[in-house]
Amino acid sequence: MKIAQFSRIGFMMAAVGSAVGLGNIWKFPYITGEYGGGAFVLVYLMTVMLVGFTVMIAEMLIGYLGRRDCVANFETLAPRHKQWWKHAGWMGVTSSLVMIYYSVVIGWILNYITVAMIQLPSSVSEAETTFNTMLKQGLGTQIFFHTIAFLITTAVVAKGIKGGIEKFNMVLMPALMLILGVMFVYAFNMDGFSQAFSYMFTPDWSKLTSEAFAVAVGHAFFTLSLGYGAIMIYSASLPKEGNMVHSSLFVIAGDTIIALVAGLVLFTFLFQYGAEPAKGPGLVFISLPAVFFQMGVIGNVFSVLFFLALAFAGLTSAVSLVEPMVQYLIDKYDFSRLKAAIVMGLFFYLFGIVAILSQIEWSAPALTWGGKNFFDWMDYITSSVLLPTAGLAMAIFVGYVIEKERVVSTLKPQMGWFFPVWYFSLRYIAPIALVVVLLNLTGIIKI
């Protein structure tokens, strides 16, 4: 079955839309603070350029050459052992597993748009109560907003590459950039900006452990949507004349700039009002709402805009998390797009309810194993195990398995002198980095 095509700008927007997500706006700022500020930013940027850029081109190339779903791409491109390689294509499943908890978090954000509109918590302790009540007792609320996330995502995917995903991204991504841009200009003129700047950019080398390195690589993959089949499936719809090198650089630059801007805005607001930069979900769901309250009317407006922007970022990533398996059902089983979107939508919707239940007070014990609840297990399995494994599979596949002439003839015209550097990085640097990350994140070794 032939896959529909994006326009060139549509592809870029959709790929940036996939990359820019919850990972940029809440995760990046807090891991930056935690792992050494400027030192971590440096390591992260190096990782993004050395490993992220290298693997992104490999993932794009597989999609671009294969032009089918993830499983079929590996199968058709492998010169031999097709029946083995096609299993690498199951990386598309990873994205559906991520979507189980991603949709729940988008639901929290949608809920917070209403919290921001109705009544912001007036202090950090009140904000903590609001968040924990939602998390541990708000079954109905969470299911309600998770349902909205499910309906929007499924409807967009059902409308297809051009009429759904491309259009959605072409509207939401500029809106997101505009909102963040306005908030950045405002933050730039506040006293807290310089403190935020030094918090994010002053290197503290003592915090730069090997764990920080593993976290940087893991986050680079997550934030760039690498190893989930999302970039691969979008690249299967990249117009033939599209340039993978330019596209990757555009995605990486867009993703990094948005993460840095979001971090500066968040920390400026927090420091300006003397709040502690909390870790994890607490950063945007606890510290920030309390600070918005203190900012008065402008805080009210900003809080609604901020959660809207976060929802936009989440939803444009969500559609790319659903698309790989939708394309697989269409390609392999001849499903109509509508049917495939509904089947995959119901998959993440129903398991999403399990993820919600796994944090609700009365049902959590039954859905917790080995110290992790279902929600945390989904996160752990996808980001610590499946993701680096898929990255490794792609690096080996493009670096060693596909015929070299094919890789050269497609990429050399786009890369010129840089081709040997990229190829070297793909064959040696990326696999080593990924093996180290895999062993480190799964706790097999701690270096």
Alpha helices (H) in 78-191, listed in sequence order:
82-85, 91-118, 124-137, 139-158, 167-188
Q: From the list 6, 228, 306, 312, which residue makes contact with ligand PFF (rule: CB under 6 A)? A: 228
Nearest in space to 59 (alpha carbons), one of 348, 402, 331: 402
Q: What is the DSSP letter of 369?
A: E
The answer to the question of residue 29 lying near ligand PFF (CB under 6 A) is: no
Distance in Å, CB of 214 to ligand PFF, minimum: 17
Q: Is 230 in the site for ligand PFF (CB under 6 A)?
A: yes
Tell me the C-alpha distance between 286 and 128, whole Å: 6
**Closer by beta carbon to ligand PFF, 22 or else 341:** 22
For residues 403 and 76, the answer to whether their CB atoms sit within 8 Å is: no
Whichever of 32 and 320 has its CB closer to ligand PFF, that residue is 320
Binder to ligand PFF among 5, 32, 223, 248 (CB under 6 A)? 223
Backbone angles phi, psi at 6, to 5 degrees: -80, 165
Nearer to ligand PFF, 113 or 275 (CB): 113
Contact present, 227 and 59 (Cβ < 8 Å): yes
- Smallest distance from ligand PFF to CB 161, Å: 15
Joined tokens for residue 2: 């032939």
Q: Which stretch binds ligand PFF (CB under 6 A): 18-26, 40-48, 277-285, 400-408?
A: 18-26
**Minimal distance, residue 169 CB to ligand PFF, in Å:** 12
Among 130, 154, 225, 272, binds ligand PFF (CB under 6 A): 225
One residue of 10, 17, 23, 33 binding ligand PFF per CB under 6 A: 23
- Toward ligand PFF, which CB reaches closer, 192 or 388? 388
- Does 222 sit near ligand PFF (CB under 6 A)? yes
Q: Which stretch binds ligand PFF (CB under 6 A): 136-144, 159-167, 224-232, 409-417?
A: 224-232
Q: Does 30 bind ligand PFF (CB under 6 A)?
A: no
Give the footprint of ligand PFF on residues 159-178 (CB under 6 A). Answer: none
- Closest distance between ligand PFF and the C-beta of residue 321, in Å? 5
Contacts of 123 (CB under 8 A, 6+ apart): 290, 293
Q: Please provide residue 195's backbone torsions phi and psi, each rounded to the nearest 5 degrees.
A: -65, -40
The interface mask with ligand PFF, positions 255-284, x = CB under 6 A, is ------------------------------
* Dist. CA 19–CA 249, nearest whole Å: 12
CB of 26 to ligand PFF, least distance (A): 9
422-436 as b/e, with b when 16 or more CB fall inside 10 Å?
Answer: bbebbbeebbebbeb
Contact at 8 Å (CB) between 71 and 64? Answer: no
HSE (side-chain half, CA atoms, 13 Å) at 48: 24
Single out the residue of 6, 11, 14, 21 in contact with ligand PFF (rule: CB under 6 A).
21
Q: CB 217 → ligand PFF: shortest distance, Å?
A: 14
Between CA 295 and CA 43 the distance in angstroms is 34
Give bridge partners of residue 203 from the DSSP assignment.
37
At closest approach, how far in Å is the CB of 416 from ligand PFF? 29
| 73 lies in the binding site for ligand PFF (CB under 6 A) | no
CB of 193 or CB of 312, closer to ligand PFF: 312
> Based on CB atoms, which residue is closest to ligand PFF, 386 or 415?
386
Q: Where are the alpha helices (DSSP H) in 202-243?
A: 210-223, 230-235
The β-bridge partners of 231 are: none
Least spacing, CB of residue 131 vs ligand PFF, in Å: 20
Helix axes 8-19, 297-333, angle to 10 degrees: 110
Tokens 């993004």 correspond to what residue? Answer: 48
Binding mask 75-114 for ligand PFF (x = CB under 6 A): --------------------x--x----------------
* Integer Rg of the chain from CA: 21
Site string for ligand PFF, 309-338 (x = CB under 6 A): --------x--xx-----------------
Are 263 and 130 within 8 A, CB to CB?
Answer: no
Q: Indicate the length of the chain as a whole number.
A: 447
Give the interface segment with ligand PFF, choosing from 38-46, 158-166, 188-196, 221-229 (CB under 6 A): 221-229
Q: For ligand PFF, which is the closer residue by CB, 111 or 316? A: 316
Measured CA distances, 174 to 27, 180, 199, 308, 323 (Å):
21, 10, 28, 13, 22
Residues 6+ apart with CB under 8 A from 387: 94, 218, 221, 222, 226, 227, 228
Question: Minimal distance in Å, beta carbon 354 to ligand PFF?
Answer: 20
Residues 232, 67: Cα–Cα separation, whole Å: 9
Binding residues with ligand PFF: total (CB under 6 A) = 16
- Residues lying near ligand PFF in the complex (CB under 6 A): 18-19, 21-24, 95, 98, 222-223, 225, 228, 230, 317, 320-321
